[in-house]
Amino acid sequence: MDLQAEINWIQKALSESKDPTFIEAVKNMIQSMRKVKEKLSAEQKQEDILMAEAEVDIKAGRVYSTEEAHKIVDSWEL
């Protein structure tokens, strides 16, 4: 079945349903999926910002070797 056929089938099933519990469950599922999508979008946006900042740091030579990074971490008081 193609996507439009799937959508049509779902719409038909919803319009024929007289079960408020079923309709509420579908509604809740859609709302939950939208919240997840919004959260992922915000996380992706933040990741893109961090990657852009990292690229600027790399181009400016603000980088550490693995050995230097280990020394820095070892100097931290935990």
Q: How does pLDDT run across 55-77, given as a tens digit for each residue?
A: 999 999 999 999 999 999 999 98
The CA-atom distances, in angstroms, between 70 and each of 9, 46, 66, 76 are 58, 26, 6, 10
CB 47 within 8 A of CB 53: no
Residues 14-38 pLDDT 10s: 999 999 999 999 999 999 999 999 9
Sign of the C-alpha dihedral computed for residues 22, 26, 27 and 32 taken in this order: positive
Question: Which residue, among 51, 54, 32, has the nearest Cα to 43 in the 3D structure?
Answer: 51
Q: Give the integer Cα–Cα distance in Å for 57 and 54.
A: 5
Q: What pLDDT score does 77 carry?
A: 87
The pair of structure tokens assigned to 6 is 């799937």
pTM attached to this predicted model = 0.56
